[in-house]
Structure 1
Amino acid sequence: MSEGAAYATGLPAVIRGEEAFLAARRERRVQALLGLVVLIACLATAGWVSEVHPATLWAGLPRIGEYFARILPDLRWDALLANAETEGSLAFWMYRLPEWAWLILETANMAALATLMGSVFALVFAFPAARNVAPSGLVYHATRRFLEALRTVPEIVYALIFVWAFGIGPLAGILAIALHSAGANGKLFAEAIENADLRPWEAVRAAGGSWAMGCRYAILPQVLPNILSYVLLRFEVNIRSASVIGFVGAGGVGEELYKVISFNYYEEISAIVLLIILTVSCVDLLSERLRHAAIGRLEAAR
């Protein structure tokens, strides 16, 4: 066959291939357009059911700005560093700093203890909740559903229950955050275990090791860096949660924040919020350093 004949024979195939490509692209575009229309319709329906109206949002925006303007402190440059009895000074704005600092320390302790309790509980249930090492399908599904139930209930609902049971105080907050952390970390731990290499597991089991020994010596060393990272990340999240559940009497700085909001002590609101933001930022930075340092040491040991 001559070169011209070969070219003429291959040309229709190229044209058909290009037409098929263009047809597939048109089909994808139509599907994307239909998906966008469905998404917009779902969002509009959700907004209508939830009574989220653009006019209401537009009318409320100036009030948000007005509220933030009220909580800003009235600081003056000429009195900025004066004593606590001088209006316009930082000391006057933070006149209850020792009391607030103690409450923030209590909040951090609540978050730390709750994170520790919840993570230990999550680690125990993570292995039967991992599909690759679960003793049976029944145990796997039952444990998964149990962890789902724990993390589905918000911390503030748990806090309301425990406040009713144990009374107002940090204990209710610690238990509430611990239960929710157990459900959340249990899922993350189980997914990390499912991504582990099973060859060490098979070796331990083939050598006569029990299921618990396989989890301890074959799987845990592999996933320990990820677990530590998730624990520290959860501690950061729990600092914020501990600041909120105080609104229902579960201890910490959130209880004080609820009081000043209820009585419209505007400048105290901004002072407490600023202290919470600074605390969370410091905890985030410290946790990030600890996480990288610990993961680096564990990886080097492996």
Structure 2
Amino acid sequence: MRGEPPIRAVLGLAEGRARVLLGAYDGAVRVRRLQTFAILAAVVCLALLSAYVAEVEPSTFSKNLYRFTNYLYRILPSLTVANLAGDVADWYWRFGVWMRLLIETLLIAYLGTLIGALGAVALCFAASNNFGRNKALRFATRRLLEFLRTVPEVVFALLFVIAFGLGPMAGVLALGIHSVGSLGKQFFEIVENVDMKPAEGVRASGGNWLHTVRFAAWPQVAPGFASYALMRFEINVRGASVMGFVGAGGIGQELISAIRQFYYSDVSAILLMILVTVVLIDLGAEQVRHRLIGLKGASA
């Protein structure tokens, strides 16, 4: 193009050298584009293959979509402006029972999260590369954490229901064991990113492994541990609601009973209670996490 400065003037190099560099750059850009297109093509092919294996048929989906929307319409309560208070009271005719079961669900989630967090703290340092002193122990600990988080909570709940019978205990154990695996991985990744200079200082002053963990690592990882534990509590509240489907206590038992008996208005009432509870917990936990992150940044 006219008025365009020569290549050597732009790069400050001899024209031949500049053209070689620009040619190499263009080649690298072409290779990067080919890699991007290859990755996108692989993603599309895998998505199509997955849809074929899973028997995903858009025609069937569009043909039967009305069934889902029709069910949603059925569970909506009949509320009128003239008798709004009475309609709401009729909608939540078992509010006391549902609230008690919802509180039970929250307690199941809390206790399961507490068990999971304590177990994860006990295992995460042994699983980390910088604090795990024994290679075989580190390998075994990581495989254990993988197993605990791979098995779904519902499977654990079914096993514990068979072993201990129906009730909240099965839900607590199922959530606790699964949370150990999930939090354990997150925790040891936090441990592996700590600044090791304080640890070297503790060791140089004669401290043992426990002293190093307590005085060098723990002040750095505690805010992150608390943040992930709060996030896990949010997840476990939703999980505890599902645990009731297999008889592990909580509001889920009442929800599955209402679904099976076609008590449509009860289904929407229970779902709304669960939704509001989860939203409130998410908002509260988000504020706490932000404060913890802020305190960590201030201390750093």
Judge same fold: TM > 0.5, yes or no: yes
Aligned to 2:161: 163
Alignment of 1:14-163 (within 5 A): 14-82=18-86, 89-163=87-161
Which residue of the other structure, out of 221, 224, 229, is the alignment partner of 2:222?
Answer: 224
Query: Per the alignment, in what secondary structure is the counterpart of residue 138 of structure 1?
Result: helix
Deviation larger for 235-244 or 57-66: 57-66
1:37 Cα deviation (Å)? 1.9
- What count of residue pairs does the alignment treat as equivalent? 291
Residue 297 of structure 1 deviates from its aligned partner by: 5.1
* Structure 2 letter corresponding to 1:32: T
| Counterpart-to-counterpart distance in 2, 1:201 and 1:147 | 25
Deviation at 1:298, TM superposition (A): 6.1
Shift in alpha-carbon separation, 1:297–1:167, aligned structure 2, 3 A: same
TM-aligned CA distance change 1:24 to 1:179, over 3 Å: same
**Paired residue for 1:263, among 255, 261, 264?**
261
Task: Within 5 Å, give how 1:182-261 maps onto structure 2.
Answer: 182-261=180-259
Shift of 1:18: 2.8
**278-287 or 116-125, which moves further after superposition?**
278-287
Among 170, 178, 181, the residue aligned to 2:179: 181
Contact 1:128-1:143 at 8 Å conserved across structures: yes
In the TM superposition, what is the alpha-carbon distance from 1:70 to its structure 2 partner?
0.8
Offset at 1:206? Answer: 2.2
Q: Do the aligned partners of 1:166 and 1:172 also contact (CA within 8 Å) in 2?
A: yes
Write the letter of the residue equivalent to 1:228.
Answer: A
Paired residue type of 1:34? A
Which amino acid in structure 2 is aligned with residue 73 of structure 1? P
* TM-score, length basis structure 1: 0.91
Deviations 1:105-144 (A, max 9, x none): 0000011111111100110001001111101211111111
Separation in 2, partners of 1:136, 1:37: 43
CA–CA distance in structure 2, aligned partners of residues 113 and 151 of structure 1 = 17
Instruction: Go from structure 1 to structure 2 and tell me whether the alpha carbon gap of 1:17 and 1:227 turns closer, same or farther (over 3 Å shift).
Output: same
Give me the identity figure in percent: 43
Native 8 Å contact 1:225 1:299 kept in 2: no
The superposition leaves residues 208-252 of structure 1 with CA deviations (integer Å, 9 ceiling, x where unpaired) of 222122111111111111011111111111100000011000000
Which structure 1 residue ranges, 4+ long, deviate > 4 Å from structure 2?
Answer: 294-302
Deviation readout 1:56-111 (Å, 9 max, x if unpaired): 222232211111111111111111023xxxxxx11111111111000000000011
Does structure 1 residue 11 correspond to structure 2 residue 15?
yes
Report the secondary structure of 1:81's partner residue.
Answer: helix
Q: Normalising to structure 2: TM-score of the pair?
A: 0.92
SS in 2 for 1:196: coil
Match of 1:85 in 2: none
Structure 1 residue matching 2:207: 3-state secondary structure: coil
Letter in 2 for 1:124: A
Could you tell me how far 1:301 is from its partner in structure 2? Answer: 6.4
Kindly state the Cα deviation for residue 26 of structure 1 after the two structures are TM-superposed.
Answer: 2.4
